[in-house]
Structure 1
Amino acid sequence: MIYDICVIGSGAGAGPIIYELSKAGLKVCVLEKGDIYDEKDFSKDELVVRRSIYTPNLKDEYHTIEEFIDDSWHKFPTYETGWSFWNGTLLGGSSNFMSGYFHRLKPNDFKLASTYGVPKDSNIVDWPINYDELEPYYTKVEELVGVSGVVEEYEFLEPRSTKDFIYPPLKENKIVDLIDKACKELNYTSIKTSRAIITKQKDGRNPCYYSNYCGSYACSSGAKGSSRASLIKDALTTNNLQIIANANVIKLNTDKNKKIKSATYLTKSGTKKDVFAKLFVIAAQAVETSRLLLNSKDENFVNGVANNSGNVGKNFLSTSGGIISATFDESHLALEDLHASGLFVNRSIMDWYYTNEFKGGCIDILFEHQNPIRRASSLRWKDNGDLKIGEELQNSIFETFTKTRTLNMEIFLDWTPNDNSFISVDEKYKDKYGIPVANIRIGTHKRDLEIANFIEKKAIKVFEKMGGKNIVSDISPLPSANLQAGGCRFGDNPNTSVLNKYCQAHEVSNLFVSDGSFMPTGGSVPYTFTIYANSFRIADYIKNNYNKIIA
């Protein structure tokens, strides 16, 4: 069978494509590397999360990391450190596990180069589209995926075509009163954080039931706006969608016209199979998308599919910044309020998203994730490095879990693309299937750390004003493995980009990339909202031009 569309991956970049094109009557095949799970399969068991049930075992499938240490680049496999860049290998991908902080990009995020200039040793460019072109699709995500919150005025609020969110904000812990009061006294603006978590019934999805286990955990109510729960379930009702699970795509195959004719995948048992389609969409998350293209070498593309220009893998993005933490106890808030189960913090500060001199960042405020095993394990060491045991350890655990609570401020910055931040493949390093793994070179730009340090000082003032105790700061330029973008940036010039403005490969007319790979810059917020919105935009383009594209 030859499908109309073959989609590789099923996360945030894939869901809108799957949803829109199957509803348009096209026959869609999804190749998902992982298995299919549903709400009934998702428990709030930390051991399930920690034992790589939803991600590959790093001994079998790993990545290599290159870091600049002692004046030279050093490469090491991730199975040596446990630093995993796998974020969810199952239907719906990593969108199942996101915390769902959904901030839109701002108009100037689309034109950083022309607004602030291009810093030395950076590859910052303007986007080939503007905010107005993406705005209707942000609105569509708010409706279909489901975003809760309330629109509040602040200096950098982006233009909106709707006055507010459809879903009211989530219930909040009383600690937000302390945050709001401290910000007001500092002349900062605290705003309510919009979240991809619904607060009222939507079709077959139940609203949030405040389980207390949200970030890093799959949602057992369907409230979290995963691609699986919000879009793919509905798409299945069209009878135009086939999902092939446990399909590890290892190569794209081209024909004499330099179009993709098929995708080769490995079954769970290692058997090779091919899927044929008229049009292909890759949405495998940024690292694996670049890896697939680079490994898909043939006579048409000796350096990998869509890579005759040498741009695939370049300008990989993540987000740097860090976390500032403080503890709070009954001297700040009654313990029953402080430990109220499942209530959210949902506060953000964007006062320094832009400054007159440079592009800044965003602060999202949240309680430390539950994860009791990890939290208890971290208490076994004394300040001098000695092991804490017996009654001392027992008391420490009891006090931590019953008398205090840790509040975090996460800093999100606009990762500066540069020549030493890229994805490549190396024939020396292969997974258990014999396929070269992705190598991630982590080249950071000094500008990012400078901005992180600037915002860190602002964040610490909030905790100080709140009377927070044990204030600890961990500022780092290193990437967050769960936030991946770039590698196949879009642009108008085929010599400097992989995709055109519709995320169609310059060199392969029936190939699109719809995950975060398209982004030239990432904004100072998590990427998922924008990935969803852009995928809806791509879906519209494909629907309106399908016959022309496949001709």
Structure 2
Amino acid sequence: MSDFDVVVIGSGAGGGVAAWAFAEQGKRVLVVDRGKDYPPGWVGRDLLRNHRFSRYGHNTGPEIEGNPRVFVAPDGTETVVKPHDGGYQNNAMAVGGGTRVYGAQAWRFHPLDFQMATTYGVPEGSSLADWPFDYAELAPYYEEIEWEMGVSGSPPASNMPVRRDYPMEPLPATYRTGPLSKAATEKGWAHQRVPLLINSRRYGGRGACIGGQTCVGFGCVMEAKAGTQNTVLPKMLAHPGCDLWAETRVTRLLTDSGGRVTGVQVIRDGQMQEVMADVVVFALGAIETPRLLLQTQTAREPHGIGNNGDWVGRNLQGHFYPGALGVFDNLVADLVGPGPTVAITEFNHGNHGIVGGGMLADDFISLPAAFARDAPAQVPRFGAGLKEWMRENYRRSFHIFGPTQDIPNPECRVTLSATVRDSIGLPVAQLQGTTHPETVRTALFMRDRAVEWLQATGAREVHPRPVGLGMSAGQHQAGTCRMAARPEDGVVDHQGRVWGHDNLLVCDASVHVTNGGFNPVLTVMATALRSARLFS
């Protein structure tokens, strides 16, 4: 007899929602997460060690020591990187995952995001493909998540899908809301208030946002930010037979002699044990999910579970964030958080000569250290000159930027390092690959639109952000166990089941065929909910 009906590995956006959905069906669910279960109201407010500015560390797991990754440069040079290094492509490891510290932008993908190959063709050197279902299939799950988790926002822009109103009105306007909206209207650009998984009033038993200045990268003292740890996971745990094991590490899948998945092997309280389950759900993120699949090798699948087609770990993608800094004569920053208020959706698709596009919005309140880091090139990097510029311009400037379509590249991938091990002796994730040229073209196009918007808003100086060429996984990591209509084209089927395994699901952004031109968390949640419901 199994110990649980369902074991879910990971408690973030996808894992938390999937666990709740299975518990609602009467299943005995165990959620396993390697991170800590921080108390309600936890913030982690170290301004130099957080998921917004991590030069000296961060405020959640993984621990800096004992959890390296290997980054392979285009010339083949290998570098061992720690969790707070840029090349690590880190996401928060804690109960609630990235939803504890995210910016909580709650965008649906555009309908064309599900049909990119049909719309644009397949660029040379890319693995661009359509999703195996369309926007209409996911729409009811989007709506359920918006109301279950709690989204604040306004009616959609004219070029976005019509939907039911959000359960909450948008957060209060700030100094820059009016000027940004006015400039967008004058230019004829489709725009709207930014939807957020943040309470604008009391909702779901949680308080309203108080406008704190440390939002993205930190926890929420009011619990106004909807993470899985304060929404669906408590509901899951209220069901009989359900449990959550924090600070517990899954080391491999268990399989029987025929290769069928039967459970997981874990390290809990320093002891190795086996947990038997009828169904196993992977939701570790688009780097750790393929890593664990590749670590479990059987006679039937010698290169890793689900990897007979050599797709596991490929197509690693995320988002570039092109944009610009605008400096104004007047005060434009009232320092009321979280920050984003107005978004341009005009350029997500339909841009001549561009594959896809993206969204632009005003940024979160800048941490002082980040503001110094992002100062224009002519500003001194340290000393009195830098301090004077910061004092003069901190409240007279803000950034405009946003996510762009990242065209998938099969050579941008996660593999296992042949030489580097973690603290428990397992091969670490090795990351390699470069950005597709179409992604760079799109990023440059969107950067020009950010400059144009800031100029129209009245900025006296506009400083474009550099556009890099490295991989863009990070907190928006996706694509490494892509959905496909046929096993030869991907890792999971249209329901999220690993091909060849009817009781093994992937419920995180690994399954994304493309990652949209918007923040992906709402799509992660909606897709996980759909997979769990269809499985039953």
> Could you tell me how far apart the structure 1 residues matched to 2:390 and 2:444 are?
32
Alpha-carbon distance, 1:43 to partner: 4.6
Q: Do 1:368 and 1:406's aligned partners in 2 also have CA atoms closer than 8 Å?
A: no
1:40–1:454 Cα change, 3 Å: closer
Paired amino acid for 1:457: D
Tell me the equivalent position of 1:11.
Answer: 12
Tell me the equivalent position of 1:66.
Answer: 72
Give 4+ residue runs of structure 1 displaced > 6 Å after superposition: none
Alignment map for 1:514-529 (pairs within 5 Å) = 514-529=507-522
**Are 1:473 and 2:473 matched, yes or no?**
no
> Could you tell me how far apart the structure 1 residues matched to 2:83 and 2:512 are?
30
Alpha-carbon distance, 1:363 to partner: 2.9
Alignment map for 1:11-90 (pairs within 5 Å) = 11-47=12-48, 49=50, 50=54, 51-68=57-74, 72-79=75-82, 82-83=85-86, 84-90=88-94
Q: Which has the higher mean CA deviation after the structures are superposed, 34-43 or 449-458?
A: 34-43
**Unaligned stretches of 5+ in structure 2?**
none
1:281–1:101 Cα change, 3 Å: same
> Could you tell me how far apart the structure 1 residues matched to 2:219 and 2:259 are?
40
Q: Do 2:363 and 2:401's aligned partners in 1 also have CA atoms closer than 8 Å?
A: no
Alignment map for 1:354-503 (pairs within 5 Å) = 354-355=349-350, 357-375=353-371, 383=378, 388-389=382-383, 392=385, 394-401=387-394, 404-474=395-465, 475-478=467-470, 479-503=472-496
Tell me the equivalent position of 2:247.
Answer: 246
Between structures 1 and 2, the one with greater strand share: 1
Alpha-carbon distance, 1:44 to partner: 3.4
Q: Do 2:3 and 2:275's aligned partners in 1 also have CA atoms closer than 8 Å?
A: yes
1:132–1:311 Cα change, 3 Å: same
Alpha-carbon distance, 1:47 to partner: 4.6
**Are 1:332 and 2:330 matched, yes or no?**
yes
Alignment map for 1:50-199 (pairs within 5 Å) = 50=54, 51-68=57-74, 72-79=75-82, 82-83=85-86, 84-154=88-158, 156-160=159-163, 162=164, 164-199=165-200
SS at match of 2:266: strand
Q: Do 1:206 and 1:221's aligned partners in 2 also have CA atoms closer than 8 Å?
A: yes
**Are 1:507 and 2:481 matched, yes or no?**
no
Paired amino acid for 1:37: Y
Tell me the equivalent position of 1:549.
Answer: none
Q: Do 1:411 and 1:452's aligned partners in 2 also have CA atoms closer than 8 Å?
A: no
Q: Do 2:339 and 2:364's aligned partners in 1 also have CA atoms closer than 8 Å?
A: no
SS at match of 1:486: coil
Alpha-carbon distance, 1:206 to partner: 1.2
Q: Do 1:168 and 1:199's aligned partners in 2 also have CA atoms closer than 8 Å?
A: yes
Alpha-carbon distance, 1:48 to partner: 5.3
Alpha-carbon distance, 1:339 to partner: 2.1
Q: Do 2:127 and 2:409's aligned partners in 1 also have CA atoms closer than 8 Å?
A: yes
Which of these residues, 341, 347, 359, is aligned with residue 342 of structure 2? 347
> Could you tell me how far apart the structure 2 residues matched to 1:93 and 1:80 are?
15
Tell me the equivalent position of 1:284.
Answer: 284
Alpha-carbon distance, 1:257 to partner: 2.8
Q: Structure 1-normalised TM-score? A: 0.90
1:131–1:456 Cα change, 3 Å: same
Paired amino acid for 2:343: S
Paired amino acid for 1:292: L
Q: Do 2:359 and 2:404's aligned partners in 1 also have CA atoms closer than 8 Å?
A: no
Alpha-carbon distance, 1:382 to partner: 8.6
Name the count of aligned residue pairs: 526
Alpha-carbon distance, 1:373 to partner: 4.0
Tell me the equivalent position of 1:548.
Answer: none
Q: Do 2:152 and 2:199's aligned partners in 1 also have CA atoms closer than 8 Å?
A: yes
> Could you tell me how far apart the structure 2 residues matched to 1:76 and 1:313 are?
19
SS at match of 1:338: coil
Measured on the aligned residues, the alpha-carbon RMSD in Å equals 2.2
Alpha-carbon distance, 1:5 to partner: 0.2
Alpha-carbon distance, 1:255 to partner: 0.7
Tell me the equivalent position of 2:233.
Answer: 232
Among all aligned residue pairs of Structure 1 and Structure 2, give the percentage whose two residues are the same amino acid.
24
**Unaligned stretches of 5+ in structure 1?**
545-551
Deviations 1:483-537 (A, max 9, x none): 1001111111111211111000112121000000111111111111100000110
> Could you tell me how far apart the structure 2 residues matched to 1:293 and 1:376 are?
41
> Could you tell me how far apart the structure 2 residues matched to 1:213 and 1:19 are?
29
1:384–1:19 Cα change, 3 Å: closer
Paired amino acid for 2:181: D
> Could you tell me how far apart the structure 2 residues matched to 1:491 and 1:395 are?
55
Paired amino acid for 1:99: G
Q: Do 2:8 and 2:15's aligned partners in 1 also have CA atoms closer than 8 Å?
A: yes
> Could you tell me how far apart the structure 1 residues matched to 2:135 and 2:226 are?
23
